[in-house]
Amino acid sequence: MRQNEQPSALIMIFGATGDLANRKLFPSLYRLFEKGNLSENFAVIGVARRPLSNEQFQENVKKSVQSAASNEGENIDEFASHFYYHSHDVTDTNSYVFLRDMAAKLDEQYKTMGNRIFYLAMAPEFFGTIAIHLNEDGLTNVAGFKRLVIEKPFGHDLKSAKALNNQIRTAFSEDEIYRIDHYLGKEMVRNIEVIRFANAIFEPLWNNRYISNIQVTSSETLGVEERGRYYENSGALRDMVQNHMLQMVALLAMEPPIKLNTEEIRSEKVKVLRAMRTIKDDKVDKYFVRGQYGEGLINDQKVSGYREEQMVDPQSNTETFVAGKLLIDNFRWAGVPFYIRTGKRMKSKSTKIVIQFKDIPMNLYYKTEQTLNPNLLVIHIQPEEGITLHLNAQKTGNHMNATPVKLSYANTGIDGINTPEAYEKLLYDCMRGDATNFTHWDEVALSWSFVDNISQFWQKTPAQFPNYESGSAGPKESDVLLARDGFYWWPIGDLEVENC
pLDDT digits (tens, 9 = 90+) for 280-309: 888 999 999 999 999 999 999 999 999 999
Q: 293-294 and 288-291 as β-strands: parallel, antiparallel, unpaired?
A: unpaired
pLDDT of residue 495: 47
Q: Which residue has the higher pLDDT, 495 or 313?
A: 313
- Residue 204 and residue 166 in contact, taking contact as beta carbons nearer than 8 Å: no
Asked if the model's pLDDT at residue 499 lies above 60, the reply is no
pLDDT class of 1 with cuts at 50, 70, 90: very low
Give per-residue pLDDT as tens, 50-93: 999 999 999 999 999 998 876 656 789 999 999 999 999 999 99
pLDDT of residue 153: 86
Give per-residue pLDDT as tens, 173-213: 999 999 999 999 999 999 999 999 999 999 999 999 999 99
Residues belonging to the active site: 244
Average pLDDT of the chain, as a whole number? 92
pLDDT class of 436 with cuts at 50, 70, 90: very high
Q: CA 145, 149, 154: angle at the middle one, nearest 5?
A: 140
When mean pLDDT is compared across 147-151, 229-233, 408-412, the lowest value belongs to 408-412
- Residue 394 and residue 404 in contact, taking contact as beta carbons nearer than 8 Å: no
In the predicted model, what is the mean pLDDT of residues 461-483? 97
- Residue 354 and residue 489 in contact, taking contact as beta carbons nearer than 8 Å: no
Give per-residue pLDDT as tens, 234-258: 999 999 999 999 999 999 999 999 9
pLDDT of residue 70: 61
Residue 34 and residue 79: Cα distance in Å, rounded? 9
| Longest CA–CA separation in the chain, Å | 83
Residue 135 and residue 141: Cα distance in Å, rounded? 8
Give per-residue pLDDT as tens, 87-122: 999 999 999 999 999 999 999 999 999 999 999 998
Residue 332 and residue 272: Cα distance in Å, rounded? 10
Inter-helix orientation angle 127-136/158-168, to 10°? 20
Q: What's the per-residue H, E or C state across the chain?
A: CCCCCCCCEEEEEECCCCHHHHHHHHHHHHHHHHCCCCCCCEEEEEEECCCCCHHHHHHHHHHHHHHHCCCCCCCHHHHHCCEEEEECCCCCHHHHHHHHHHHHHHHHHHCCCCCEEEEECCCHHHHHHHHHHHHHCCCCCCCCCEEEEECCCCCCCHHHHHHHHHHHCCCCCHHHEEECCHHHHCHHHHHHHHHHHCCCCCHHHCCCCCEEEEEEEEECCCCCCCCHHHHHCCHHHHHHHHHHHHHHHHHHHCCCCCCCCHHHHHHHHHHHHHHECCCCHHHHHHHEEEECEECEEECCEEECCHHHCCCCCCCCCCCCEEEEEEEECCCCCCCCEEEEEEECCECCCEEEEEEEECCCCCCCCHHHCCCCCCCEEEEEEECCCEEEEEEEECCCCCCCCCEEEEEEEECCCHHHHCCCCHHHHHHHHHHHCCCCCCECHHHHHHHHHHHHHHHHHHHCCCCCCCCEECCECCCHHHHHHHHCCCCCCCCCCCCCCCCC
pTM: 0.93
pLDDT of residue 417: 47
pLDDT of residue 332: 98
Asked if the model's pLDDT at residue 344 lies above 90, the reply is yes
Q: CA 334, 335, 337: angle at the middle one, nearest 5?
A: 110
